[in-house]
Amino acid sequence: MDEDARVNLVLSDNNYVEDVKVKLIVNPSLDEALISDQLIDALGIIVISFGKGLWRYKEESEGVIRKSA
């Protein structure tokens, strides 16, 4: 599958802060999503720790730390 899609960053119920058009490529041998550094930037994600899955949204204070789902 190779098609256009839209990706939204959702911070809480009904709080969509970013909406980005992407090219969606599905690899049936992978069981989790992979996103590019360009998409991370476009969504306004600031990575705190890749290994621990910690991040925050660009407009949040430095004290806010979120954990990947």
Dump pLDDT digits (tens) for 17-51.
Answer: 888 999 988 899 998 888 999 999 999 999 999 99
The pLDDT assigned to 60 comes to: 92
Strands (E), the chain: 2-12, 15-25, 45-49, 54-57, 66-67
The long-range contacts involving 5-13, CB below 8 angstroms and separated by at least 24 positions, are 7/35, 7/39, 7/43, 9/43, 9/44, 9/45, 9/57, 11/57
Mean pLDDT of 53-58: 95
CB 55 within 8 A of CB 66: yes
